[in-house]
Amino acid sequence: MEKICVLIPVYNSEKTIYDLCSSLMKVFADKMNFKLVLVNDGSRDNSAQVCKQLYREYPGLVTYVELARNFGEHNALMAGLYHVTGDYCIMMDDDLQNPPEEARKLIGEILKGYDVVYTDYQDRQDPLLRKLGSYLNDMVAGIVLKKPAGLYLSSFKIINRFLINEIIKYDGQSPYIDGIILRSTNRIGSVEVNHLSRRHGQSGYTLAKLVSLWSSMALNFSLIPLRIIGLLGVLLTSGSLAFAAHRRFFDPPFDPLTDLEWVMVVQLFLIGLLFFGIALLAEYVGRMYLFINRQPQYIVREVLSNDQALLNKIQG
């Protein structure tokens, strides 16, 4: 029998995490090889106490990992994947928007031979701003990561042991789980599931976090931004030559700008482009600097587990 593990990054979810985990225990009550990994990503409420209560109530089934501070969702997932010992790992959020019973659909689909199965929502119950952010995220992923058209990169997904092992090999400071998945396999499935409204609080994804996610996607997994700058340079050079030839040989009858003004406009535009290119290159160099200096993906403060396979892995 396959061993199933559900991995949940926990952040300020004291009002939802207990109900979610209790429901999962009922859903997988007939599966003896079921495990639950909770990663507390620096929560500021009582999430830690609730997670430890779950660890005590379900001995041998719950592994609790507490990070030293808030590192972000994808870093927390990396920490959790290291503590996963199952054949398959289901990743899901802690906000109860993903019905626990839908997890069985993922298992049935991945057994068809996929390495990863993403969920696609029938009717997504998210605020307009979150939907817009997801749309932009998918658009960027399609360009930068060559994401298959029509595939929604949902946080509710299942991966097999092959992908788990590939993902945890990545030791960069700013991991992007879906980027690692898309560069590792083309055996990708999708299944339609229900999506519920958020019961408590609001999404932890701010505009700053979304920008950080997009930058991680674009700069850690692709050279396309640099190539776009190169293409812009070629277009500007060609355009300036074409403009000079036009002024020299065709002498347009109407030009609202003087020669001095044209020079100023072109110089300012090129200087702005140069600054942008330098900033982009500096971002690459900065990320290389963080990698060379071994900026940690995460720092584990505490692990509570009765999973002997995991304990052997940590000790070994």
Residues in the chain: 316
pLDDT digits (tens, 9 = 90+) for 165-176: 999 999 888 888
- Residue located via tokens 């802690």: 94
Band (pLDDT 50/70/90 cuts) for residue 273 is: confident
For 179, residues 6+ apart whose C-beta sits below 8 A from its C-beta are 141, 145, 216, 217, 220, 221
Query: What gap in Å lies between CA 53 and CA 3, rounded to an integer?
Result: 23
The alpha carbon of 240 is separated from its chain's Cα centroid by a whole number of angstroms, namely 41
Tell me if residue 22 falls in helix, strand or coil: helix
Percent of the chain clearing pLDDT 70 (strictly above): 68
User: If one looks up domain 4-221+296-315 in CATH, what number appears?
Assistant: 3.90.550.10
Q: Mean pLDDT across the chain, nearest whole number? A: 81
Least confident of 213-222, 245-254, 273-282, 305-314: 245-254
Residue spans of alpha helices (H) in the chain: 17-27, 47-57, 73-82, 103-110, 128-144, 161-167, 177-184, 207-220, 224-249, 259-292, 308-315
Q: Which residue has the higher pLDDT, 244 or 254?
A: 244
Least confident of 29-33, 112-116, 234-238: 234-238
Question: Mean per-residue pLDDT for 104-110?
Answer: 93
Percent of the chain clearing pLDDT 90 (strictly above): 42
Question: Mean per-residue pLDDT for 207-221?
Answer: 64
pLDDT score of 272 more than 80: no
DSSP letter assigned to residue 147: P
Say what the pTM is. 0.77
pLDDT at 198: 63
Band (pLDDT 50/70/90 cuts) for residue 185 is: very high
Band (pLDDT 50/70/90 cuts) for residue 45 is: very high
